[in-house]
Structure formats: structure tokens, C-alpha cells
Amino acid sequence: MCQDHHNNKNSQESQRGTSLKDAQKHEEDHHNWSRRGFLRALGLATGGGVAMGGFSLSAMASSALSPLLAAAEGDDRILVLIRLNGGNDGLNTIIPVFDYGKYQQERPSIAIPQNQIIGLTDKFGMPNSMQNLLPMWQDGQMKVINTVGYDNHNLSHFNSTDIFATANQNIQNDADKSGWLGRYILNQDPDYLEDLPSTPAAIKISSGGSLAYQNSDQIDLAVNFNTPDRLIEVAETGFVYDTVDLPDDCYYGEQVGFLRSILNVTYNYAPQISEAYTSVENSVEYSNNELSRQLAIVARLIKGGLGTRLYMVTLSGFDTHENQTNNHASLMNALSSGVSEFYTDLAASQQDQRVLSMTLSEFGRRINENDGGTDHGTAAPVMMFGPALEGNGILGDDPDMNDVDANGNLKHSVDFRSIYASILESWLCLDAAGVDEILGDTYDRMEDLGFDCTGVSSGLSHLPMKQAVQHGVRQDGQGGIVIDYELDRPGTVNLTIFTLMGQKLATLENGYKMNGKHQAYFSNRYQTLSKMPLVYRLVVNDKKYSGKFILGL
């Protein structure tokens, strides 16, 4: 299967379809990849999501997220992820003119001719198909991070996409399928089951298959949609599903009620999104391509004051095994046009300073060409856009086409999680310990990105300084539940048990606790709740944590 990982090169080629030498395996990999994305967009892959008429929403964080996600007086920062779906060819995007002879030797038919290269530095250029980005480069609104990747690169679209979305190289075997931005949302306030924020925490356009905003229960925390017209239609119909008259079966009825309540969320959010979209117009005429259309929508939502801080858009078609000269040039033109138009649009309403955009792709391409195209590779550049960068530049090590891995691929010098860590800490203004917790380890922060959190209101100023809180749940051996938590300093603690529908069952703790380890017990006297998912909410000094358990298992 395409998910399998082997160290042997031949096994990689046959299992993952990394080249067109095995066209059947390549097609199977794409079929599985596309099918899974379709199922995830519908919420059928895990049972966690819901889709209605091109608009899907699985779950959102609680109303306590509202002050974190609502746009403050021009200060709250927005992150836009631009997926280059299929594996972008980094060498034909940021061209190594310092070693042009080797580059041309390895790519005799697809190398960008020297008279079609726009110079960025004395060592690098970009193809003239990306000329719309030149003004942004010249104005200091574009940076490049070269040779981005990770150790023992997985060359499958399916697996590597998930690795980038979750920041977890063991994602295929790990029971926790949460995304890195899903964990960020829950770090801010994990109590998403009780109340709804006034605006969505995250919005994805044409990106339904990405795990980036998923929680550990495989519930997508982002609103997914394709066009605002569908949202307007949903807002006008105003359907509300009955959450009272449910099936008699307790467990099944609870799940149906929860599902219907999520559907109601769809209709609750539609008016806000519709209002933001229809309240403003785009200030520029966008190109007629896949990415420009998506970014035009995002620009209107931002300018309309929706308040959402996390967006994802997708440009597909980067699996350029063949006919790369024409296909890649068209894609690069779409990327450069869309990004340039987006920032020109935002600048017209002075919104551009608070928006940072970044490209992501599951891998680069092989150094040597494959009869008019390129096979799956490893390290590739990441591009960042926005005036917040305060200067252009190319970071990371130069790609070395003479020092390659066993498969003839580029070696990476920057772990992609270092970029995530830098964005979380220096753009989204999360404390260093929280960043490490979200990413599961400590990664070097990128220097010279041009932005930091000094003097910036990230929306978090009303929160007290965080203390480290460890918490977990276990069975007590007699059908009850023990909730363990540890405080690194004294604080006020409230620990409450809820059903998935938000019904409060018990308050286990409510008072001042000293630092150290503590335990709270939830008995099995609730016989009607046997084998039902329940949620505990732990509030320590106004900071919320939560977890899920099943009573009686």
C-alpha cells in the first residue's frame, strides 16, 4: 500500500509510486490519496465531521476562544497557509544559479533557461512565470527558506502530507491524529464542546483532506467550504435540527444529538461568514485561476471583519512527473498572481500588515529529470509573504546537488517544525513552553524572519501568565475514573464532568490547591452513562484543559 515505508529504494518506488516507472502504483497512490481527502472533507473517514452542500464543520472551540480569535483594533495577526498540493519542484521555483551548470546538466529539457530567470540574489533566481512576485521581493515582503524537510523523508503523497499537517513523523502509527494548528487552538482553550465562539477559529478552502486543524479525536476544528455562495444559501435556509426528540437508545441517541448540534453549528456560522463576505468588495481584479479565487474570498472575509485568524487555501497539480515545463510554469504564474493580488487587495484597506502567508508542499522533486518531468523528491523551499517580514532574504543552507541522499535527493538543512515553532512563538505569540508542547519537542527557532511579538497585542493580554499543568485520566479498577493533575505552582482549581452535549454531571474540585500532584475521583454510580463518552474540564487560574473518557471501560 502507499502508506508503507521502506528503506530500500526499489521498494519505495514500487510501493509509493514515486516515479512513473510504476505507473499503476502511482495511480493507486493518487486514487487512495484523493479518495481519503474526499472522505475527510465529508467527515466519513473518521465519523468525526459533517458536510452539507459544500460546507462542512466538525467542531469548534468554545466561546472563550472569541477574544483570542476576534480581530482587535488592527493588532490580531492572521496566518494563511498556501498548500502546493502534489509536491512542488523547488529547484525550478527558487533556481540555484550559483550552480547552474549542474542544474542544467541534471535537467536538460526542463531547466529554466537563463534568459527566463529573474534574479533575486547573486546566487538565486525565480522563473519569469513568477514575475508578479518581483515587486513584493523588492519591497521586502517575501522571504525564502531553502532546503526544508525532515529526516528519513517519506516519499508518499499520502503520508508526507499528513506529516506536514501534524508535525508528527510517526503519524501513520500514532493513535493521536491531531494537527499542529488543531493543537494550537486547543492550547488556547480546549473546552470546545460546551459553547461556540462568535466566529470560526479556522477556515479551509479546497483543503478538506488536511489534518492540520484536527484534534486527537480526529474531529476537524476548522470550517471547510468551497464558495461563499453556498454559505449564503445555508444562512438563508436557516435549518435547525432537533436535539431534543432523539432516539430512545441512550448511547445512539446521544451521538445523534451531538451530530445534529454540530449541523446546527453550520447554520450558526453561515450568517457571520456571509455578513463579512457581503459587507465588502475586493479592491483589485483577481485572475481567473484556482488560487486567486480562493484568496479573493479570504481577503473579503478578513476585510469584512470576520475575526478568523487561521486560513488554509490549496493550489493543486504539482505532481509533475511529465510535461513539467508547461504545467509548472502555469502553476507558478497562478501562485504569483494570487499572492500579489491578495496583498494588493489587503493593502487597500491597510490590512496587509497583520497577514502572514506561507507555502507548504509535501515534498520537493528529484534533482534529475524524468523524461520531461520529475519524480518525488525531498527538501524544497518554503516561501513566506507579507509586509511583516520587513525585508527580503533567502534563509537556510544552499541546496547541494552534489551531496545527495541514497535516492539522489537533496538533503534538508531546516526541519519544517522549526518554521512552525517560529510562527507559533513569534507570529501567533505563544509562549515557548506551549510551542514545545504543541510540537512534541523543542525545535530551533528561525532567525531573521523579520517579525516578533514585541509590542504586539496577540489577543492574549487578558490571560494570566500560564503555569504548566499536567493532567490525565485512568480507571480505578472498580469501574470509576481517576483524574490526575499536577500543578507547578499553587492555584485555583475547578474540575467538572460533562456529557458530550454539555450537561454538567459533577463538580469534583472547586478551590485553592497547592503545587504538586493531585487526584480526583468520579464514581461509577451513573449506570445510565456506562460506555458513553464523557468530558472532564480542568480550569486552573482561568486556563482551561480537558480530556475525554468512557465510564465503565
Per-residue pLDDT tens digits for 325-355: 999 999 999 999 999 999 999 999 999 999 9
- Highest-confidence range of 114-128, 302-316, 452-466, by mean pLDDT? 114-128
- Are residues 364 and 510 located together in one domain of the fold? no
Q: pLDDT band for position 60 (50/70/90)?
A: very low
Q: How far apart are the first and last CA of the chain?
A: 34
* Predicted local confidence at residue 196, as pLDDT: 59
- Are residues 181 and 103 located together in one domain of the fold? yes
Tell me if 459 sits within 8 A of 78, measured CB to CB: no
Answer whether residue 2 is part of any domain: no
**Residue 333, helix vs strand vs coil:** helix
- Are residues 327 and 435 located together in one domain of the fold? yes
**390 alpha-carbon distance from chain centroid:** 24
455 pLDDT exceeds 70?
Answer: no
Query: How many C-beta atoms surround the C-beta of residue 411 within 10 A?
Result: 16
DSSP E strands, 44-141:
51-52, 55-57, 78-85, 95-96, 117-119, 124-127
- Are residues 338 and 223 located together in one domain of the fold? yes
Output the average pLDDT for the chain.
Answer: 79
Between helix 250-278 and helix 228-237 the angle, nearest 10°, is 120
- Are residues 314 and 201 located together in one domain of the fold? yes
- Are residues 420 and 484 located together in one domain of the fold? no
* Predicted local confidence at residue 4, as pLDDT: 37
The better pLDDT of the pair 125, 447 is held by: 125
Given 401, 418, 439, the domain boundary residue is: 439
Taking residues 77-102, what's their average pLDDT?
97
Please report where in the chains the cell 430512545 appears, as a residue: 248
Tell me which of 25-29, 112-116, 301-305, 382-386 is least confident.
25-29
What one-letter code names the amino acid at 173?
N
By the 10 Å C-beta count (0-12 exposed, 13-18 middle, 19+ buried), 367 is classed as buried
Cell numbers at residue 446, please?
528561525
Tell me if 534 sits within 8 A of 550, measured CB to CB: yes
* Predicted local confidence at residue 308, as pLDDT: 92
- Are residues 480 and 426 located together in one domain of the fold? no
Per-residue pLDDT tens digits for 224-240: 776 545 654 554 554 44
Dihedrals phi, psi of 512, to nearest 5 degrees: -85, 135
- Are residues 372 and 477 located together in one domain of the fold? no
Answer whether residue 448 is part of any domain: no
Tell me which of 38-52, 181-195, 338-352 is least confident.
38-52
Answer whether residue 188 is part of any domain: yes
Q: What is the CATH number of the domain that holds 500?
A: 2.60.40.10
Answer whether residue 204 is part of any domain: yes
Cα(95)–Cα(386) distance, rounded to whole angstroms? 22
Radius of gyration of the CA atoms of the chain, in A: 24
- Are residues 296 and 399 located together in one domain of the fold? yes
- Highest-confidence range of 197-206, 442-451, 508-517, by mean pLDDT? 442-451
* Predicted local confidence at residue 422, as pLDDT: 96
Answer whether residue 453 is part of any domain: no
Opening angle at CA 323, ends 321 and 326, nearest 5 = 130
100 pLDDT exceeds 50?
Answer: yes
Given 439, 455, 480, the domain boundary residue is: 439
Looking at the DSSP bridge assignments, the partners of residue 202 are 310
* Predicted local confidence at residue 255, as pLDDT: 55
Dihedrals phi, psi of 441, to nearest 5 degrees: -170, 175
Tell me if 504 sits within 8 A of 525, measured CB to CB: no
The better pLDDT of the pair 61, 22 is held by: 22
Closest CA to 187 of 178, 195, 196: 178
Answer whether residue 460 is part of any domain: no
Tell me if 346 sits within 8 A of 302, measured CB to CB: yes
By the 10 Å C-beta count (0-12 exposed, 13-18 middle, 19+ buried), 404 is classed as middle
Cα(42)–Cα(55) distance, rounded to whole angstroms? 9
* Predicted local confidence at residue 53, as pLDDT: 33
Answer whether residue 464 is part of any domain: no
Alpha-carbon torsion, ordered 344, 348, 354, 359, to 10 deg: -20
Q: Please provide the DSSP assignment of 336-388 as one string.
A: HHHHHHHHHHHHHTT-GGGEEEEEE-S--B-SS--SSS--B-S-EEEEEESGG
Q: pLDDT band for position 16 (50/70/90)?
A: low
pTM beyond 0.95, yes or no: no
Tell me if 409 sits within 8 A of 153, measured CB to CB: yes
361 pLDDT exceeds 80?
Answer: yes
Cα(390)–Cα(385) distance, rounded to whole angstroms? 10
- Are residues 224 and 327 located together in one domain of the fold? yes
Given 439, 461, 485, the domain boundary residue is: 439
110 pLDDT exceeds 60?
Answer: yes
Alpha-carbon torsion, ordered 475, 478, 483, 486, to 10 deg: -90
In the chain, the number of structural domains is 2
Range of 545's domain? 469-550
Q: pLDDT band for position 66 (50/70/90)?
A: very low
Dihedrals phi, psi of 485, to nearest 5 degrees: -145, 150
- Are residues 475 and 432 located together in one domain of the fold? no
Closest CA to 534 of 32, 524, 469, 542: 524
By the 10 Å C-beta count (0-12 exposed, 13-18 middle, 19+ buried), 319 is classed as buried
296 pLDDT exceeds 50?
Answer: yes
Residues in the chain: 553
Closest CA to 264 of 232, 233, 242: 242
Q: pLDDT band for position 45 (50/70/90)?
A: very low
- Are residues 403 and 545 located together in one domain of the fold? no
Answer whether residue 3 is part of any domain: no
Cell numbers at residue 536, please?
472532564
Cα(338)–Cα(452) distance, rounded to whole angstroms? 26
Taking residues 45-74, what's their average pLDDT?
35
Tell me if 542 sits within 8 A of 531, measured CB to CB: no
Cα(37)–Cα(162) distance, rounded to whole angstroms? 11
